Amino acid sequence: MTDRLATRFAACKEAGRAALVTFVTAGDPTVTATPAILDALVAGGADIIELGMPFTDPMADGPAIELANLRSLGSGTKTKDIFHLATTFRARHPHTPLVLMGYANPMLIRGSEWFANQCREAGIDGVICVDTPPEEDAEIGPALRAAGVHLIRLATPTTDAARLPTVLDGASGFLYHVAVAGVTGKQQAAQTAVEQAVEKLKAATDLPIAVGFGVRSAEQAAAIGRVADGVVVGSAIVDIIGSHGDAAAPFVQEFVATLSGALKANSPHFRETAA
Amino acid sequence: MTISNSLRSQPDASGHFGSFGGRYVAETLMPLILELEKVYKEAKQDPTFEAEFEELLRSYVGRPNPLYYAGRLTEALRADSPDGKGAKIYLKREELNHTGAHKINNCIGQALLARRMGKKKVIAETGAGQHGVATATVAALFGMECKIFMGAKDVERQKPNVFRMKLLGAEVIPVVSGSQTLKDAMNDALRHWVSNVHDTFYIIGTAAGPHPYPELVRDFQSVIGKEARQQIVEIEGRLPDLLIAPVGGGSNAIGLFHPFLDDVDVKMIGVEAAGEGLTGKHAASLAGGASGILHGNRTYLLQDEDGQITEAHSISAGLDYPGIGPEHSWLHEIGRVQYMPITDDEALASFQKLAALEGIIPALESAHAIASAEKVAPTMDADQIIVVNLSGRGDKDIFTVADALGVEM
Ligand SMILES: Cc1ncc(COP(=O)(O)O)c(C=O)c1O
């Protein structure tokens, strides 16, 4: 199996820009609306898709994504629907990496092997399990590795140098740097803090570094894209879905295109052609 | 007896009670949780920590509280029992503590830890408001800033406790997310904590959450069982045959049970809230749930086939939670403790019965334990002994009970 994540990060690096990682919640607002929204992300220029697996109690999320979780569950989204969305996405977009992000309980309710196999069969490239730190790796890590699915770990502002090796041990795909100590979509990190953090992480690992939490605008994305290998945008997109509901796809595509444009404008190739 | 044969040596080094417990939190919280574990280990070795804890329990909380022989309740049950049956019922009077419940024991302990860690702000979740009031109380005592997260529905239902917390100087934050009750209050407390880890200590109100909370809450609440053990030996010259306590998250129950876990002849019943009955809406996570992960620990949870958490129901706000502390899940699986469901109606009947027979208005949570004793005592010999944890007083519940009985106040 080709490693779509590695291939995509390498291609972006080759193009001299950061990868655009976009997050939406599966089934928000409905399972029927999601395929068009996912296609809009790709059409807008997203390099990697993070698909949120809804949970009744998303403790690490701020109001925007929490509401998305509740909209999705409220409209009846089931786990089987999420894997179906992934499977059909994979058929339409054979090369775009797809990462499932969510909480341990819905992922592990039928056992980690069941979950890991479903991921592999649906063409999911990686998993972020927000509430399973390295200390509880045995719950999910071995099964994902056996199935050839990346377990993507998070490093945060509270992950100090002494702890970082613990986080990196068993991490694969990329390293997700959570830029603020907080929940999704709330505060913004200071650019200098992001730069210092990315520098430290790069010194410690060869994994690509994607930075997320609180990235809302094209300007911010561009600034972070100058130092990181990937930029994650979630709540800002989810807010658009919150306001436009079933009709959100074109608005999502338009917004994602501005993010993508801003990251591409960082590229030396782009600057050459523009000059 | 070696330590490894003891049931009192859990959790293991990684915070697991058998397959339960653990630390299922976001990475942002992990360093703090590890630090708390370290600080708690040091505190346990420090005689001044224990001395200060005990002194506050004595002079501020009013411990030791009595172990009271409930003679009229015992006799009333004997009257309906076969000859020679009807065990003696003792009540451990946690309701006589300052703030009216066992919750304060734990809050004093955690506030001492917060101070040791240099944190000047504390937060807590609360359902009925009992833990919120206890936390606001110790925050006032220690001069700490205090925020209490409370489901918006509970803020409406529990106005007197909301006002108490405000009087004590706490800020009460109504939580409008999700089902707007205790589990959502805990979600929002965790969200606030993750955003303020540098200066904030989270005083969790029950023996649940990520390691080391289930362990330290149990240790602080174990004063209940230690006292009860000494008192029953003084009164009866022997250990009891049965312990009974209500189980929400499980802090008062584990506090009573833990010092007796290795006494094989002492049986134990944890009482879960069966609400409208196990086929209707209830809060009995052992009887009606399955193992899962929520709020930092693996434990029994009420959930659907996709692992979505389902809403709990109990007439008693303090038992109205879809989970249970991990040590109880373990004690249930190994069969050391039996867990019994008691419905809203049974608890309501016992609430009135204890008031009428003993002049004690129990908390609705505690009334569940009384109801269980009423079922079990008549099956036991008259010379056997039951200790029931009267975890709190019922003043907070009079509006709920009046409402349930159709009484206009
Ligand atoms: C009086 C009383 N008893 C019992 C409980 C249940 O909590 P736990 O199981 O942690 O003791 C509560 C919770 O609010 C309570 O107020």
Check: CB of residue A101 under 8 Å from CB of residue A53. yes
* pLDDT number for residue B1: 40
Percentage of chain A beyond pLDDT 70 is: 98
What per-residue confidence (pLDDT) applies to A275? 46
Residue A51 near residue A85 (C-beta atoms within 8 A): yes
Bridging pattern class, strands B290-294 and B16-17: unpaired
CA distance A110 to A20: 32
Name which residue sits closest to atom 15 of ligand 1, judged by CA: B318
Cβ proximity of B350 and B375 under 8 Å: no
Interatomic CA distance for residues B49 and B351, integer angstroms: 38
Average pLDDT, chain A: 95
According to DSSP, the residues that pair with B196 across neighbouring strands are: none
Torsions phi, psi for B299 (to 5 deg): -165, 180
pLDDT digits (tens, 9 = 90+) for B300-329: 999 999 999 999 999 998 999 999 999 999
| Per-residue confidence band for A1, with pLDDT thresholds at 50, 70 and 90 | low
For A74, A132, B36, B277, the CA distances from B210, given in Å and listed in that order, are 29, 11, 11, 30
pTM of the model: 0.96
Sign of CA dihedral A3, A4, A7, A10: negative
In the three-class reduction of DSSP (H, G, I as helix; E, B as strand; rest coil), residue B300 is classed as: strand
DSSP A138: G
Cα A136 off chain centre by: 21
Q: Which residues contact A136 (CB under 8 A, 6 or more apart)?
A: A104, B22, B23, B24
Instruction: Looking at the complex, report in whole angstroms how far the Cα of residue B177 sits from the nearest Cα belonging to chain A.
Output: 8
Within 10 angstroms of residue B116's Cβ, the number of other Cβ atoms is 16
CB < 8 Å & 24+ apart, contacts of A40-43: A40/A248, A40/A249, A40/A250, A40/A252, A40/A253, A40/A256, A41/A237, A41/A252, A41/A253, A41/A256, A42/A93, A42/A96, A43/A253
| Angle at alpha carbon of residue B176, lines to B175 and B179, rounded to 5° | 100
Evaluate whether B207 touches B131 at the Cβ level (below 8 Å): no
How far is Cα of residue A49 from the mean position of the Cα atoms in its chain?
A: 6
Which is it for the CA torsion B347, B352, B356, B360, positive or negative?
Answer: positive
Cβ-based contacts of A156 with chain B (< 8 Å): 26-28
| pLDDT higher than threshold 50 for residue A205 | yes
Concerning whether B54 is annotated as a catalytic residue, the answer is no
Distance spanning both ends of chain A, measured CA to CA: 40
Per-residue pLDDT reduced to its tens digit, B222-248: 999 999 999 999 999 999 999 999 999
Asked if A188 is an interface residue toward chain B (Cβ–Cβ < 8 A), one would say no
Q: What is the DSSP letter of B269?
A: E
What does the mean pLDDT of chain B come to? Answer: 96
Residues 6+ apart with CB under 8 A from B190: A59, B25, B29, B202, B295, B296
Inform me whether the pLDDT recorded for B3 exceeds 80: no
Q: Catalytic amino acids of A?
A: 50, 61
| Alpha-carbon span B222 to B253, nearest angstrom | 9
Q: What ipTM was predicted for this assembly? A: 0.95
Is residue B181 predicted with pLDDT exceeding 90? no
B349-353: Cβ within 8 A, 24+ apart: B350/B374, B351/B394, B351/B397, B351/B401, B352/B401, B353/B73, B353/B76
> Can you tell me which atom of ligand 1 is nearest the CA of B207?
10
Q: Over the stretch B28-42, which tens digit does the pLDDT of each residue have? A: 999 999 999 999 999
CB-nearest to A182 from B177, B195, B307 is: B195
Q: Give the CA angle between residues B254, B331, B126 to the nearest 5°.
A: 40
Pairing of strands B267-275, B145-151: unpaired
Q: What is the pLDDT of residue A160?
A: 94
Length of chain B: 409
Helix and strand counts by DSSP (H, E) for chain A: 13, 9
CA distances from B321 to A144, A195, B134, B349 (A): 32, 43, 19, 22
Band of the pLDDT at A266, cuts 50, 70, 90?
Answer: confident
Between CA B34 and CA B68 the distance in angstroms is: 41
pLDDT at B2 over 50: no
d(CA B194, CA B31): 11
Q: How does pLDDT run across A93-148, given as a tens digit for each residue? A: 999 999 999 999 999 999 999 999 999 999 999 999 999 999 999 999 999 999 99
Confidence of residue A274 (pLDDT cuts 50, 70, 90): low
Is residue A81 within a helix (H) or strand (E), and if so which, with residue range? helix A79-92
What is the share, in percent, of chain B residues with pLDDT greater than 70?
99
Are A133 and B195 in contact (CB < 8 Å)?
A: no
Percent helix, strand and coil across chain B, each to the nearest 5:
50, 20, 30
> Cα distance from A58 to chain B (closest Cα, Å)?
8
Query: What's residue B180's pLDDT?
Result: 87
| Beta strands B20-24 and B296-301, pairing class | antiparallel
Q: Does B101 sit in the ligand 1 pocket, CB within 6 Å?
A: yes
Q: How far is CA A201 from CA A223, B207, B371, in A?
A: 18, 36, 58
User: Is the CB of A164 inside 8 Å of chain B's CB atoms?
Assistant: no
Which residues lie closer than 8 Å to B34 by C-beta, 6 or more apart?
A: none
**Alpha-carbon dihedral sign for residues B104, B110, B113, B115:** negative
Least confident of A182-196, B290-304, B373-387: A182-196
φ, ψ (nearest 5 deg) of residue B302: -85, 120
d(CA A177, CA B185): 27
Of B135, B181, B342, B391, the residue with max ligand 1 atoms within 8 A of its CB, to mutate for a pocket test, comes to B391
- pLDDT band of residue B377 (cuts 50, 70, 90) is very high
- What 3-state class would DSSP assign to B163? helix
Query: Does the annotation count B103 as an active-site position?
Result: yes
Helix (H) or strand (E) holding B328: helix B326-333
What per-residue confidence (pLDDT) applies to A272? 59
SS3 content of chain A, % helix, strand, coil (to 5): 50, 15, 35
- Identify the band that residue B4 occupies on the pLDDT scale cut at 50, 70 and 90: low
Q: At which residue do the structure tokens 């997310």 appear?
A: B177
| Ligand 1 pocket residue status of B392, Cβ below 6 Å | yes
- Helices B364-376 & B344-358, crossing angle to 10 degrees? 90
B195 burial class (0-12, 13-18, 19+ CB within 10 angstroms)?
middle
Plot region of B144 (φ>0 → left; ψ -120 to 50 → alpha; else → beta):
beta
Residue to substitute from A77, A83, A128, A131, interface B, most B β-carbons within 10 A: A131
B258-286 confidence digits (pLDDT tens): 999 999 999 999 999 999 999 999 999 99
Average pLDDT over residues B147-155: 94
Backbone φ, ψ for residue B333 (5° rounding): -65, -35
Q: Among residues of chain B, what percentage have pLDDT more than 90?
A: 94
Query: Is 80 exceeded by the pLDDT of residue B169?
Result: yes
Q: Is the pLDDT score of B82 beyond 60?
A: yes
Whether pLDDT at B362 is above 60: yes
